[in-house]
């Protein structure tokens, strides 16, 4: 791998301030989804190694929590600065192991770093309360304290940002962390660990354990079952989130879950169609459609349906597909064959039930897991793409007549992560924004994630919020102190 700093490419896990392998020496391969080539082999760990990482985090916790907020913030700030200084290498590594275009990967590194910067600042703004007493001789005080050892299980689609969005607030709050990155993208996580080491985090404060898909249940079982861990944060599917939540129940762990979505993008007949098309492109095809907040259903009012469909199909056809390291590429490969199979299944199901392809609809000529940017018209609620998260570059267009119908269609799902709509009617913007049953709503925009706003969903899309001033609260306990005998 061609990097400016080869020390960022790690083939060992990071536990208690040291680089280590699996107990038995087992490893698993990391491959480039664009070429299928072997990139690296990293430790295939299990429950025993995870238990030691938890113990290391527990030993490190008292000293870390007792540092002042300013002291913790200084180390976080150094980590942030190192991310910026090494952004090109991290982005290249991410493109190679995950597949996203280099420009997107660079954008993610900056996005990931922004959470570390934000929470370095928020560490100094953890405020308590003084409550007016009910009795003259008492004083009532509320303080906030770090919850303890935290576990973070992160996905492959945003291998840097999903770590910093969890680890940043945890470390700022005074917690210590054990991270289990996705098996497809451990190299980005280990590069972040190397930079954390350089930044000066004490041994045991930040740990990364790696494992294959076969080992994930062992690692996850230890993270959820070990009573030393007081908090679990997970980003991934609703199915796995339910399982982890159940496993955390016996020890009553606090959980933050950012789960699946089925995001609607509504285009009303009073929308700026060109802006709506660009918003749909940004939301749908970014990261090859492999984001939990990407538009999964495009609901278009009948008066502009045909015009919007033509415009979107033309723009989608122009998107250049290829290896993420090639100049000008805006869509890379799907992460693996399983992802490709799901996309093909959804397209085939839609076509069998009467939908028609306006562009794409098949594997790309490049082969492998590349798939053409696709737009499908005449999609109906009985099709799989209406109910399931496609997680690929397929834009299914649904037709609606009235505002009430659009809201009903959008809310007709067990998920509630993100929604989008386009309209130039100010009153409608408020009505629809308030009526949509989602944790986040983008109005006249296809991208809304940032470090200063709360990220999270409702219904079966999750629990808790990440980013913003609310993100650090997920890693704090509220303690009430009642002082008596004050006269």
Can you give the pLDDT at residue 444? 99
End-to-end CA distance of the chain: 70
Domain with CATH 3.40.605.10 in the chain: 6-259+461-480
For the stretch 198-222, pLDDT in tens is 999 999 999 999 999 999 999 999 9
Can you give the pLDDT at residue 487? 84
Mean pLDDT of 91-106: 98
1 pLDDT band, cuts 50/70/90, is: confident
For the stretch 364-376, pLDDT in tens is 999 999 999 999 9
Percentage with pLDDT > 70 across the chain: 100
For the stretch 405-448, pLDDT in tens is 999 999 999 999 999 999 999 999 999 999 999 999 999 999 99
For every residue of 323-383, DSSP letters joined together read -TTSTT--B---SSHHHHHHHHHHHHHHHHTT-EEEE--SB-TT-TT-B--EEEES--TTS
For the stretch 68-79, pLDDT in tens is 999 999 999 999
Query: Which candidate in 49, 97, 258, 451 is catalytic?
Result: 258
For the stretch 276-322, pLDDT in tens is 999 999 999 999 999 999 999 999 999 999 999 999 999 999 999 99
Can you give the pLDDT at residue 436? 99
Q: What is the dihedral of CA 451, 454, 455, 459, to 10 degrees?
A: 180
**Statement: 263-450 belongs to CATH 3.40.309.10:** yes
Handedness of CA 378, 298, 460, 350 (dihedral sign): positive
Mean pLDDT of 29-39: 98
For every residue of 3-21, DSSP letters joined together read -S-GGG---SEEETTEEE-
- Domain 6-259+461-480, CATH homologous superfamily name and number: Aldehyde Dehydrogenase; Chain A, domain 1 (3.40.605.10)
List Cα–Cα distances, 123 to 62, 209, 230, in angstroms.
17, 26, 20
Can you give the pLDDT at residue 416? 99
- In the block, residue with structure tokens 């009573």: 227
Domain with CATH 3.40.309.10 in the chain: 263-450
Mean pLDDT of 99-121: 99
Q: Does the global pTM surpass 0.95? A: yes
- 162 Cβ contact list (under 8 Å, min separation 6): 154, 155, 235
Query: Which candidate in 292, 294, 385, 474 is catalytic?
Result: 292
108 as an active site residue: the answer is: no
Q: Residue 218: which of 227, 228, 209, 230 has the closest Cα?
A: 209
Query: What gap in Å lies between CA 473 and CA 467, rounded to an integer?
Result: 10
Query: What gap in Å lies between CA 17 and CA 173, rounded to an integer?
Result: 20
| Mean pLDDT taken over the chain | 98
In this predicted structure, the answer to whether residue 132 has a pLDDT above a threshold of 90 is yes
479 pLDDT band, cuts 50/70/90, is: very high
List Cα–Cα distances, 13 to 208, 211, 322, in angstroms.
6, 9, 31
For every residue of 27-94, DSSP letters joined together read EEEEE-TTT--EEEEEE---HHHHHHHHHHHHHHHHHHHHS-HHHHHHHHHHHHHHHHHTHHHHHHHH
183 as an active site residue: the answer is: no
How many residues appear in the chain?
487
């Amino acid at each position: 791998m061609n990097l400016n700093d080869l020390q960022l490419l790690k083939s060992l896990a990071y536990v208690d301030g040291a680089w280590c392998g699996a107990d038995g020496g087992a490893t698993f391969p990391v491959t480039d989804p664009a070429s299928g080539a072997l990139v690296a082999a990293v430790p295939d760990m299990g429950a025993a190694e995870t238990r030691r990482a938890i113990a290391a985090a527990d030993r490190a916790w008292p000293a870390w929590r007792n540092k002042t907020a300013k002291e913790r913030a200084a180390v976080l700030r150094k980590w942030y600065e190192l991310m910026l200084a090494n952004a090109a290498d991290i982005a290249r590594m991410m493109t190679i192991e995950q597949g996203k275009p280099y420009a997107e990967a660079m954008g993610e590194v900056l996005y990931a770093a922004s959470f570390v910067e934000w929470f370095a600042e928020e560490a100094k703004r953890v405020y308590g309360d003084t409550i007016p007493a009910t009795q003259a001789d008492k004083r009532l005080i509320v303080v906030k304290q770090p919850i303890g050892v935290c576990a973070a299980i992160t996905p492959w689609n945003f291998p840097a940002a999903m770590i910093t969005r969890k680890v940043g607030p945890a470390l700022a709050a005074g917690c210590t962390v054990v991270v289990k990155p996705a098996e497809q993208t451990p190299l980005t996580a280990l590069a972040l660990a190397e930079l954390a080491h350089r930044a000066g985090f004490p041994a045991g404060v930040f740990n990364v354990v790696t494992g294959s898909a076969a080992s994930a249940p062992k690692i996850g079982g230890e993270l959820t079952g070990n009573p030393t861990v007081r908090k679990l944060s997970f980003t991934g599917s609703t199915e796995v989130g339910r399982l982890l939540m159940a496993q955390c129940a016996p020890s009553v762990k606090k959980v933050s879950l950012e789960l699946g979505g089925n995001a609607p993008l509504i285009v009303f007949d009073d929308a700026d169609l060109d802006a709506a098309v660009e918003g749909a492109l940004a939301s749908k095809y970014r990261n090859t459609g492999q984001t939990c907040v990407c538009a999964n259903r495009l609901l278009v009012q009948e008066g502009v349906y045909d015009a919007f469909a033509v415009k979107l199909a033309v723009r989608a056809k122009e998107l250049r597909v290829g290896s993420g390291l090639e100049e000008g590429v805006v869509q890379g490969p799907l992460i693996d064959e399983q992802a490709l199979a799901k996309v093909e299944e959804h397209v085939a199901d839609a076509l069998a039930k009467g939908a028609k392809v306006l562009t794409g609809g098949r594997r790309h000529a490049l082969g492998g897991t590349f798939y053409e940017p696709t737009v499908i018209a005449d999609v109906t609620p009985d099709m799989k793409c209406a109910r399931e998260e496609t997680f690929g570059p397929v834009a299914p267009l649904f037709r609606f007549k009235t505002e009430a119908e659009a809201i009903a269609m959008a809310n007709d799902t067990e998920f509630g992560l993100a929604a989008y709509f386009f309209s130039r009617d100010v009153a409608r913007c408020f009505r629809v924004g308030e009526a949509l049953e989602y944790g986040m709503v983008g109005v006249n925009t296809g991208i809304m994630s940032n470090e200063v706003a709360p990220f999270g969903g409702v219904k079966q899309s999750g629990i808790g919020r990440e980013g913003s001033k609310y993100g650090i609260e997920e890693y704090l306990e509220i303690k009430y102190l009642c002082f008596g005998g004050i006269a």
